[in-house]
Amino acid sequence: MEFFNFDKRLLKNAEIAENMCKDAFARIDEITDYNMQKVLNAFIECRVSDSHFKGTTGYGYSDMGRDKLEEVFAKSFGGEDALVRHSFASGTHTIATVLYGILRPNDKAVCVTGTPYDTLHEVVWGKGKGSLEDFGIDFSVVDLDNDGNIDITNAEKAVFDKNVKMIYFQRSRGYSLRPSFSVEYLAEVIELLKKANPDACIVVDNCYGEFCERLEPVQAGADIIVGSLIKNPGGGIAKNGGYIVGRADLIEQCAYRLTTPSTGKEVGASLNELREMFLGLFNAPMAVCGALKTAVFASALFESFGYKAYPRYNESRADIINAIELGGEKELIAFCRGIQAGSPIDSFAYPEPWEMPGYDSKVIMAAGAFTMGASIELSADAPLREPFAVWLQGGLNYPSGKVGILKAAQTMSDEGLLKLD
């Protein structure tokens, strides 16, 4: 650590924390090994060649590279087919394409993992903007139980209705303190809910979950998984975009929504984006490995200072997010400023809390990323309100992620908010 002036006592703590992480790191390495081989095998079986990097313009008919990329995504995630496009503006746009692609007026959808991610609220319930509700589609929510698990009894009741055409899950904790759901757990719940309603399709918002475990939810009974390429599966290299993987008939419906019912998957020029989307997928298991280890290290270090981390350093993980309860505004601000100062891009920027639209308190954010808003790169967000927790995620590789976490601790210590001994 000769390039950074970290306090010797902090480095001692870091060494202890890193020792605590050994078992968790070994588990992550095993998963990475498996997933890296899985993705490499998909590239080999699909016979990817450099000719597939050559994009198309205009309508994008006969875009061989685009079709090949979708084949590799489908194979890597264990689904029948995929829709992978840089023209998805965000994860929210990709999820909305699934909802609008599959649901029709008078259909019902039930989200069984509590209130979905914030940016979806307007998509499903907004007034006058063309939300699901505007189109007469009922999207209801079954709250989680007191332990943060799926309330099976109420979920079964809610989906036992022939008008329910979709059962929706969010795998990641998002910005809450509930646990993220493992693929194994999702498989059990999916099996039960399919008994209550065999006709409904199962959709999983897989954001932040890709490559955290050996299997993806489509291999555990989900019909569709969906996510963003500026998170895990873009590997820190794809510049934007989203993916949908799963049942071929449903992917087709989503494609009719993304483009038009007369063109579907056949159009959508890939322009110059293919090489980075291929390379990003290939790098994704390693990037997720870096992010998971960074999160585990952050938990161990801050637990050693007496803070509560969710999940704990030794708990299993189904997403790359880690929350740490720091207990006060000043702590959150110092932590985020430290993360920013340890970023490769905009390290000199000084984050300030601001009134972010859609939040009922000020929020401070740290992001010094190669791709704007990419949260597979080390980043942190903290709403300045109870429970005074910071949510951090990402880290393209562990050595740089570790520096970011140490910068956060050092900044807190410099401001007298953390006592080192």
Binding site for ligand PLP (CB under 6 A): 90-92, 95, 117, 119, 170, 172, 174, 205, 207-208, 228
Q: How far apart are CA 87 and CA 108, in angstroms?
A: 28
Shortest CB 321 distance to ligand PLP, Å? 8
The residue among 178 and 330 lying less far from ligand PLP, judged by its C-beta, is: 178
Handedness of CA 75, 77, 80, 86 (dihedral sign): negative
> In 3D, which of 178, 168, 228 has the Cα closest to residue 201?
168
d(CA 137, CA 132): 5
The least CB distance from residue 338 to ligand PLP, in Å, is: 23
> Minimum distance from CB of 259 to ligand PLP (Å)?
20
* Among the listed residues 199, 193, 169, the one whose alpha carbon sits nearest the alpha carbon of residue 181: 169
Cβ at position 278, least distance to ligand PLP in Å: 21
Q: CA distances (Å), 92 to each of 55, 88, 97, 183, 229, in order?
A: 25, 9, 9, 22, 11
- Nearest alpha-carbon partner for 137 in 180, 100, 162: 100
Find the shortest distance in angstroms from Cβ 92 to ligand PLP. Answer: 3
Closest CB to ligand PLP among 117 and 256?
Answer: 117
Closest to ligand PLP by CB, 33 or 118? 118
Closest to ligand PLP by CB, 65 vs 234, is 234
Report the interhelical angle of 248-258 vs 91-102 (nearest 10°). 110
In the complex, the smallest distance separating the C-beta of residue 232 from ligand PLP, rounded to whole angstroms, is 10
Please state the φ and ψ torsions of residue 18, each to the nearest 5 degrees: -65, -35
Nearest approach, Cβ of residue 170 and ligand PLP (Å)? 5
Q: How many CB atoms lie within 10 A of CB 355?
A: 9
Nearest residue to ligand PLP, by Cβ distance, number only: 91
Distances in whole angstroms, Cα of residue 401 to Cα of each of 293, 306, 393: 8, 21, 10
Q: Computed over its alpha carbons, how large is the radius of gyration of the chain?
A: 21
